[in-house]
Every structure is written in structure tokens, then in C-alpha cells.
Amino acid sequence: MDRANIVIIGGGVVGCAVARELSRRWSDVFLLEKMPRPGMGASTRNSGVIHSGIYYPTGSLKARLCVEGNRKLYEFCSAHAIPHRNCGKLVVANGAEQEAELERLAANGRANGVEGLQIVDRAAVRAREPHIEATAALAVPSTGILSAEDLVKGLARLAAEQGASVLTHAAVARLDPRADFIAVTLREGDPSESASVSEETVEARCVINCAGLFADEVAAMLGNRSYRIYPVRGEYCELVRSKSGLVKNLVYPMPDRGGLSLGVHLTKSLWGTVLVGPTADYIEDKNDYERNRLPVEEFVRRARPLLPELTAVDLQLAYSGIRAKLVPPGQKGYGDFVIARDSNVPRAIQLVGIESPGLTACLAIASHVATLVAEILD
């Protein structure tokens, strides 16, 4: 392998979706993932929710690609037997102030093209969720859940079947733009066995940065230092089995006003377990999933407004994931996805800040990337 049409850096759900989309149209597509398997980053450390698109500013990439991605994902999951369920969700309000916010959220969702939104009263909430405290809720029928692990595997398998080379233990170490190609230097092999690691260079006509949390570092390899990713950890607890009946489906609070997260929510998984979380806290180290984990009491405090019966003995700590935020700590606001050709190296495409709803949007992101690749290769 010394020449390629397309090198995709990062085998998360986005890189795999991009590889699957591009290998339908172009030959010599390489997907390079530094970990032993695709999808070991944010792509399998999330809530597994197929979002509807209600939250994001109208016209933003997040809004457009989430609404389009939602539809595409249901079609894809049905066609390829990826476990999923279109269960809908409730965003609950408590009191007049939150009810007014709920109306604004519904209006935003409708403006984004989300269908079937309906404000329901306390009785309707109780009929669906007998243990949830709310004066009203927004019912969102197009929300669902899926098995993120099966989605990543399915996309990677289809890409490989279409001729893409999916390489794991393949870490991109250097990018060197030349006149007609980008020289991509990768380290292949298990880094814990240094004798097995070898370096190789590939000449790529097009390079696509899908490196998730590390997308700023990959962009910097091309000389582009305009991005900085701030890692924000999201931790989860799980309800003990005997209490999983307290929650029937997906229940969300009003989203965090600062735009940092959707708030600690309750997610009934495909396997009948109930996740409580994720929290949202800036951290220093992009690889730090476990240090200084929050105690279960903190989850009780945050989730009790939704589920007043919850006590600390009902919870056990579960996994965590790390969001790739573009908004720095202390600065409130909204960061959109960045998906664009690099301004100095136009045969490179940068995908930066692909936080939630990146799982939902992955297939729509892949179509969008394909139009940019066509500008470069056709």
C-alpha cells in the first residue's frame, strides 16, 4: 500500500460511515484506526440514542444532519439488522417557567423539520412513565435507541466488503502535504510491543480527518492550528436490575442552559437496563475515563427531580465517555460541527467538534463528506 485515493483517519462511527459511503463510489479507500478495533472511542461510550434534532439552532449543521441522519439511520438499521427501537422520548418540565421553555423547544424542533412533536400533560406523562415527576412534557416520537457497537461493526464490514481496507493498530503520526498528494505516515502494530511497530508512508489524493477527540491534533499535523478540542467527560450510573422497572423508556430534563449537555437523563437500553447520565465536566486529559469519578450520590441529586423515588442503593457506577467540545470551559455557547475542506490544504477534509448528535448524524455526515470528496477527486 503506497498510493491511495482516500485515507480516512479514525475508525469511529463517523470514519466507518464515511468509509462505507466513499467505498461505494471510489476505489483505494483506506480507513486507519489506531486502536485494536474500530469504535473504541466516543462511538461506543455514549447513550446510544437516535436523536430527533429538536435542540440545535435552525440551519446549523447539527440540526440539518441530525434530522437527515435520524431518517437514514432507521432505514440503515432495518436494512442491515442493527438492533434498534423507535421508542420515542419525553422531555419533561416542572412548573410554569420550564413549560414555557418546553414550548420554545417544540417550536425550535418544528423549525428544524422534526415531525410529530406534541406537548402532553401530567396525566399523559404518568400514563407512560408512572414514576416520573412532571407537570408537562414534550413527546418526541422520532427518538430511538440502537446498539452503537453493532452499528460501528456493520459499517466497517460493509466498507470492507465494498473494497475499503480497514486497518487497525494503524496510528497516523505525520501528514506532509505535497503538490499532488498528502504523504501519510502511519505506525502499524501494537504499541505495547514496540518491536512489532513499523512505519509506512502512503501517498493519498484525499485525506479525511475523522479523529474525534484528537481531530485538532491531526489538523495540526497539516499545519492547521485553528482548532482546539476541550474534552468533556460524561459519566453514567446504571439502575440495579430490581429497579429498572422504574423507567419505561427515555426521559430527559430540560437541556442545560449553557449548552454543555442535554442534562442527566434516563435511558432504557435495548437490553432493559436503565442508564442515568451522562454528566458533563471539562477534564484535562483526553484519555482520562476513570480518575475522580463522581459518587453515586451525585447522580441521585441530579436525577431526583425526574425520579423522586431514586436512592443511592438503587445505583451502581457504569462507564464514561468523553465529548469532543469546541467551546472552552467558562464560555457558554453552542459549537456547531465543523465539516470542511482545509483552507490551506484543500485535498484534506476536516471533521472537528463531532460531539452529540454525531452518532445519529453519521450517515448524513458521510453523504455530506462525499460531496466534498467529489470536488477533490472527480
Ligand X SMILES: Cc1cc2nc3c(=O)[nH]c(=O)nc-3n(C[C@H](O)[C@H](O)[C@H](O)COP(=O)(O)OP(=O)(O)OC[C@H]3O[C@@H](n4cnc5c(N)ncnc54)[C@H](O)[C@@H]3O)c2cc1C
Query: Which positions touch ligand X (CB under 6 A)?
Result: 9-15, 32-35, 40-43, 45-49, 51, 171-172, 210-214, 218, 234, 278, 321-323, 354-360
Please, which residue, 32 or 91, has the CB nearer to ligand X?
Answer: 32
- Min dist. Cβ of residue 297 to ligand X (A): 20
Cβ at position 17, least distance to ligand X in Å: 8
For ligand X, give the closer residue by CB, 12 or 263: 12
> 96: helix, coil or strand?
helix
- Please tell me whether residue 55 adopts helix, strand or coil conformation: coil
Q: Which is nearer to ligand X, 35 or 376 (CB)?
A: 35
Q: Which is nearer to ligand X, 136 or 368 (CB)?
A: 368
Q: How far is the CB of 43 from ligand X (least distance, A)?
A: 3
Q: Please, which residue, 136 or 276, has the CB nearer to ligand X?
A: 276
Cβ-based nearer residue to ligand X, 41 or 263:
41
CB of 276 to ligand X, least distance (A): 12
CB 251 within 8 A of CB 265: yes
- Closest separation in Å from C-beta 280 to ligand X: 8
C-alpha cell at 120: 402532553
Among 254, 220, 215, 159, residue whose Cα is nearest residue 337: 215
CA proximity to 310, closest of 276, 271, 272: 276
Cell of 11: 475508525
Please report how close the Cβ of residue 277 comes to ligand X at its closest, in angstroms: 7
Residue 136 or 358: which CB sits closer to ligand X? 358
Alpha-carbon distance of 360 to 55, in angstroms, equals 13
CB of 42 to ligand X, least distance (A): 4
Whichever of 342 and 355 has its CB closer to ligand X, that residue is: 355
C-alpha cell at 253: 430534563
Q: How far apart are CA 359 and CA 49, in angstroms?
A: 8
Q: Which is nearer to ligand X, 13 or 105 (CB)?
A: 13
- For the CB of residue 48, give the shortest distance to ligand X in the complex, in Å: 6
Q: How far is the CB of 122 from ligand X (least distance, A)?
A: 26
The helix (run of H) or strand (run of E) holding residue 320 is strand 315-325
In this structure, are residues 366 and 17 in contact, taking their beta carbons and an 8 Å threshold?
Answer: yes
Task: For 141-178, give one letter per residue: b (16+ CB within 10 A) or e.
Answer: ebbbbbbbbbbbbbbbebbbebebbbbbbbbbeebebe
**Residues 154, 75 contacting (CB under 8 angstroms):** no
What's the distance, CA 334 to chain centroid? 16
* DSSP letter, residue 57: P
H/E segment holding residue 183? strand 182-188
Q: Which residue has the cell 466516543?
A: 42
Residue 201: closest CA among 166, 176, 235, 218: 176
